[in-house]
Amino acid sequence: MMPWRLLDTGFAGGADNMALDAALARGGLMSVPTLRFFRWQPFCISLGYHQDAGEVDLDRCRAAGFEVARRPTAGRAILHAEELTYSVVIPAAHAWYDILPLDLYRKISEALVAGLTALGVPARFAPGERLQQDGRPLRMSCFASAARNEVIVGGRKIVGSAQRRFREGVLQHGSLLLQDGHEQLPDFLKGEAATIAAERNRLLEHTTTLARASGRVTSFAEAAPAVRRGFEETLGIELAEGAVLPAEQALAEAWRERYSILTTKSLEEKLCESSALS
C-alpha cells in the first residue's frame, strides 16, 4: 500500500483554508489520500455551505478582528480558535472512495479516538442526536450537538466533523477542541437574546476540550503527532510528509473568493478607504 500524504500547512486565513480543502478534494491530482493539519490566523467563524451568512453579526466579527468563511461542507457555524483542525481527502481513484459515507466517517473517528486515547483522554463515539424532519440539526452552532459516530468525552463533544463527496474525491474535515475559544461563538450570532442565551448554554453543556478532559493544556505541536499515530495505527497506513502541489495551490487561489465572507484583507481595505476620505 502506498503511503498517504501528510500535510501541515500551518496558519492561514479562513477562505484560504477552505479553498485549499476544496482544491485538495476536487483537483484530482493525487492518487493517494491526504491527511492535512492546519490552523487559523486570525480566528475565523466558518459557516456550512448552504448556511445563511445573515445568521452571523459581521459588524461584531469585524470589531473583534475575526474572519468569516464558508466551508465546502454542510453543517452549522463554528468558531475556529484554539483547536487542531484536520482534513482527510480520499481521491476517486482510491478504493476507499467507494466506502459508504457513515463507514468512512467511523474509520476516521476511530483514528481520532486513538489519538485522543494516546493523550490520556477516554474518548468514544456519540450515539447521535435527534434531527428535524428535513435532516437538519436542531442547533444554530455545530458544536451544540453530536451526530452519530462523532467523538465525545464524558458525553460531551470534543471533535466536530463534516463530510462531502465530490466526483473527484471525498473530503472530511473537522475540529479537535484544544481549549475553550470556541465558546465565544454565541457572541457573534444574530437572534433574540433568549435564543442566543439558550445556544450559549447548550454549547457549554455539550462540548468539552482536550485541556478540560486531560486536566492540562496540550499544544497543537503535541496533539498533531498523537493524531497522526492514531491514523497510522488504527487504519493500518503509513503517512509520508509531503507538500501542496503547485497546481493545487493555484486552484485554491482561484477559488478563494467563493469561500470568503469577511476577511482581514477586506477590513484593511475598508480602513484605507476611510483614511483616504478623512
Core vs surface per residue 226-260: b (16+ CB within 10 A) or e: bbbebbbebbebebeebebeeebbebbeebbeebb
Core vs surface per residue 153-163: b (16+ CB within 10 A) or e: beebbbbbbbb
Identity at 233, one-letter amino acid code: E
Ramachandran angles phi, psi of 199, nearest 5°: -65, -40
Quick one: CA dihedral 88, 90, 96, 102, positive or negative?
Answer: positive
| 187-151-204 Cα angle (round to 5) | 25
272 in catalytic set: no
Q: Looking at 44, 61, 142, 272, which residue is catalytic?
A: 142
Q: CB–CB of 114/151 below 8 Å?
A: no
Core vs surface per residue 176-201: b (16+ CB within 10 A) or e: bbbbbebbbbbebbeeeeeebebbbe
Please give the positions annotated as active site: 142
